Amino acid sequence: MKAWVLHGINDLRMETVEKPKPASGEVLVSVKAAGICGSDIPRIFRTGTYSYPLIPGHEFSGVVAKTGDNVDIEWQGQRVGIFPLIPCHLCLPCQRGQYEMCRNYGYLGSRQNGGFAEYAAVPVQNLIKLPDGVSFEEAAMLEPMAVAVHAIRRARPMADDTIAICGLGTIGLLILMFLLEKKKEKSQNTGRILVIGNKEFQKQTVLRMGISEDCYCDSKKEDVGKWLLDKTDGTGVNLFFECVGKNETLVQAVCGASPGGKVVLVGNPCSDMELEKQVYWKILRNQLEIIGTWNSSFTKEAGDDWRYALERAERKRIAPGALITHKFALDELKKGLHIMRDRTEDYIKIMSVVEG
């Protein structure tokens, strides 16, 4: 089969490799769509991964082409989404069903071979069946959708909260999409959502989603902290989603939160995070709640993050496909990686798609 194989930092090659054979409890998935995550860029080009050679890609969907031993034959031919984290089922978080915090996990696309290939071996426990109304492209976005849902659930927003979202990449935009859907579903007209970006493309995207122009802040042109205080009569926001992972945006989050407010740390850190004493004082004196969020819940129960995201996509309450800006054939996927690495074009979600 064809696959993109990472042999070392900045050494990604399209190769013909042996098709994986599903082990006991696994299936062979014929990959139909695979998204590029922002975390794939440093993994491939800058920091590397855990072992080589490795096939990257953890946001993917497809069709079960073959079943291994101890797998129900009914999975054969099923359209599926894939939860990429493989829990150990032994550690304390796993025993509590909190698999996203597993201490000894595997991970498709970073710790073992993933979806930037024609086929991938996947544990049957990591599959979710797709309804007919959800496309492979939408299903390949279930992973970032579930991450967004998990962050929102960790935050526990109230109907009258004023919310800020800083960072309008895929996750930030999906958080916005789910929050807007929830307001519409419950006919909630209280509370406001303020968004902070730094590109005209991002501004136009959120305007199309229903955000008014006066609720958008261009961080390149305005002082974010002052803007937030101006928009909240000097009180700050009740809930701040930090989706960038930079020191300066962490400081903006702490300084822009209201007394008793919440700061949800969503963005992967780009570097060491350090707080000046006066910023740390704000956490103490304002009794802020700092909330970490990581990955998503996949428990196979009706209410887990993945099933919530899938149900919203099936009912067309959420339109993740609207965030797909680029599609490439598998052998052209490197073009998408270079667009993201070099920022040569505006993009949100870039994806490898099998036609037909």
Instruction: Establish if 165 belongs to a structural domain.
Output: yes
Tokens in use for 232?
């909240």
**pLDDT mean over 323-344:** 97
Helix (H) or strand (E) holding 337: helix 333-342
pLDDT in the model for residue 187:
60
Q: How confident is the model at residue 185 (pLDDT cuts 50, 70, 90)?
A: confident
Predicted local confidence at residue 189, as pLDDT: 61
Q: Is residue 297 part of a domain?
A: no
Q: How confident is the model at residue 184 (pLDDT cuts 50, 70, 90)?
A: confident
Question: What pLDDT does 188 receive?
Answer: 60
pLDDT digit string, tens, across residues 34-83: 999 999 999 999 999 999 999 999 999 999 999 999 999 999 999 999 99
95-112 per-position pLDDT tens digit = 999 999 999 999 999 999
Tokens representing residue 230 in the block:
């101006």
pLDDT band at 125 (very low <50, low <70, confident <90, very high): very high
DSSP state of 247: H
Q: Which residue among 254, 273, 292 closes a domain?
A: 292
167 and 241, same domain (yes or no): yes
Check whether residue 172 and residue 76 sit in a common domain. no
Within a domain: residue 138? no
Inside any domain, residue 305: no
pLDDT given at position 289: 98
User: Containing domain of residue 153, as a range?
Assistant: 148-292
Q: Are residues 124 and 160 in the same domain?
A: no
Q: Are residues 183 and 242 in the same domain?
A: yes
pLDDT-derived band at 302 (thresholds 50, 70, 90) equals confident
What average pLDDT does the segment 21-27 reach?
97
The answer to whether residues 323 and 261 belong to one domain is no
3 Cβ contact partners less than 8 Å away, ≥ 6 residues apart: 14, 15, 16, 17, 55, 113, 116, 117, 118
d(CA 76, CA 48): 35
The percent of residues above 90 in pLDDT, for the chain, comes to: 94
Judge if 84 and 35 occupy the same domain.
yes
Task: Mention every residue, 6+ apart, whose C-beta is less than 8 A from residue 104.
Answer: 88, 90, 91
Instruction: Decide which of 292, 311, 344 is a domain's last residue.
Output: 292
- Angle at alpha carbon of residue 168, lines to 311 and 266, rounded to 5°: 75
CA distance 56 to 51: 11
The predicted model gives 134-158 an average pLDDT of 97
Mean pLDDT of 163-172: 98
- Which helix (H) or strand (E) segment holds residue 185: the answer is helix 170-185
Indicate which CATH number applies to the domain containing 219: 3.40.50.720
Question: Do the domain assignments include residue 204?
Answer: yes
Of residues 39, 46, 38, the one with CA closest to residue 10: 46
Q: What's the whole-model pTM score?
A: 0.96
The amino acid present at 329, given as its one-letter code, is: A
Statement to judge: residues 120 and 208 lie in one domain: no
pLDDT score recorded for residue 191: 81
Q: Kindly state whether residues 121 and 175 are assigned to the same domain.
A: no
Residue written as token pair 């300066």: 248
Residue 311 lies in a domain: no
Residue 311 has pLDDT above 80, yes or no: yes
Same domain, 153 and 276: yes
98 in the same domain as 214: no
Distances, alpha carbon 29 to alpha carbons 21, 67, 104, 133, 137, in Å: 10, 9, 24, 20, 15
80 and 187 share a domain? no
Q: Is the pLDDT of residue 190 over 80?
A: no
Q: H or E stretch including 257?
A: strand 257-265
Residues 323, 173: contact at Cβ < 8 Å? Answer: yes
Q: Looking at the domain assignment, is residue 337 inside a domain?
A: yes
Q: Please tell me the distance from the alpha carbon of residue 340 to that of residue 37, in angstroms, as a whole number.
A: 9
Question: Quick check: 318 and 311 in contact, CB under 8 A?
Answer: no
Phi, psi for residue 237 in degrees, rounded to 5:
-90, 150
Mean pLDDT of the region 252-267 = 97
In a domain, 77, yes or no: yes
Domains in the chain, number: 2
Select the more confidently predicted residue: 300 or 322.
Answer: 322
Per-residue model confidence (pLDDT) at position 183: 84
Specify whether 156 is located in the same domain as 275.
yes
